[in-house]
Amino acid sequence: MKHNLVMSDVRFDKTAHTYELYGHKLKGVTPIVAWMFPDTYAAIPDSVLANAAAYGTGIHEKCQLYDECGIVDEHPSIKAYAELCKQNGLQHICSEYLVDDGQNIASCIDKVFENASENIVLADIKATSKLHDERVRLQLSIYAWMFEQMNGERVDKIAAIWLPNPEKNYGQPTIKYLQRLPNDTVQEIVKAYLNGDDSAKFRTLFNLPTVADGQLPANLAEVELAIVELETSIKKMEAQEKEMKAGLLKLMQENNVKKWTGEHITLIRKDGGTRITLDSKKVQNEYPEVYYDCIKESKYSESLMVKIN
């Protein structure tokens, strides 16, 4: 291994996730990616994002433990990570390598590798339900630009290491090499972000999905999977609730009681009976004048219907 990496003078606060260089606050790369792709996670609840982030952090830590100590965790994703690195001839140089541009932005690169040709490969580990190629492409292209500024050494390849949750059946772990953006383009993007410009003028650089009736845009895959999980959980809970209520009602009937009060809930047994409803269709057909004289119009808001395929 012939690579001696330059150490950044940036101070990184891992808890607050802030960067500081000689008392000057620097911006991270994640906000730049979010500025370029604002809709990717917009519809996902914060609680879902927080759970996903916590899971991803755990995977990152286990991968780092493997790289630095040779400990292969029993988690399937870590075994897959070790095998993928071996298959791709990737030799670990550094994890969480801190890079900066000297004045405005800084970040930590998940993995710095040397490949079989002894060239530098920068990689980012993703444990998301879908690999958002263009987001990672931008992220790693910025990393590569800063890495080369600091080290004076060319980055040969950038790669996303996708380690989806094996319990969710999102897909198979893989290493995906991405097409890097040129350094001059990266500098333009960073400058535009720092100036508060609109990111729309750069959209043609990325394979962004079209938004129209028909197929769900690919960048909403995270939302799709989150809704499926929620709807499935709701149906299971509703079925459990129905079963529990039926059991409790039976117990109350058998004991001939009308009310039970606990510490947190009160159970009230309601009498059965007959419900009277109006056959509006019949009234409309047989007494149209009465029907149209009695109906009233009320507005309702636009809503979304979700059907699980």
**Of 98, 90, 99, which is closest to residue 186 (Cα–Cα)?**
99
Q: Where are the domains of the chain?
A: 11-205
> What's the confidence (pLDDT) of residue 206?
86
Percent of the chain exceeding pLDDT 90 equals 69
Q: Across residues 174-181, what is the average pLDDT?
A: 96
Instruction: Kindly state the tokens that stand for 81.
Output: 């990570």
Instruction: Kindly state the tokens that stand for 226.
Output: 């989150």
> What's the confidence (pLDDT) of residue 7?
93
Question: What's the pLDDT band for 211 if we cut at 50, 70, 90?
Answer: low
> What's the confidence (pLDDT) of residue 99?
97
> What's the confidence (pLDDT) of residue 223?
78
Q: Across residues 17-31, what is the average pLDDT?
A: 94
Q: Residue 24: which H helix or E strand, with range?
A: strand 24-26
Higher pLDDT, residue 117 or 222 = 117
Mention the CATH class of domain 11-205: alpha beta
**Of 165, 159, 102, 168, which is closest to residue 136 (Cα–Cα)?**
159
**pLDDT per position as a tens digit, 231-283:** 888 889 999 999 999 999 999 999 999 999 999 999 999 998 898 998 989 99
Question: What's the pLDDT band for 218 if we cut at 50, 70, 90?
Answer: low
> What's the confidence (pLDDT) of residue 47?
87
Contact 86, 173 (CB under 8 A): no
> What's the confidence (pLDDT) of residue 213?
76
Contact 67, 77 (CB under 8 A): no
- The owner of tokens 């419900």 is 275
Q: Across residues 86-101, what is the average pLDDT?
A: 96
> What's the confidence (pLDDT) of residue 209?
65
- As a whole number, the mean pLDDT across the chain is 91
- Per-residue pLDDT at 1 exceeds 80: no
- Amino acid in the structure at residue 260: W
- Per-residue pLDDT at 205 exceeds 80: yes
Torsion of CA 60, 73, 88, 86, to 10 degrees: 150
Question: What's the pLDDT band for 226 if we cut at 50, 70, 90?
Answer: confident
**Of 142, 153, 115, 126, which is closest to residue 26 (Cα–Cα)?**
142
> What's the confidence (pLDDT) of residue 163?
97
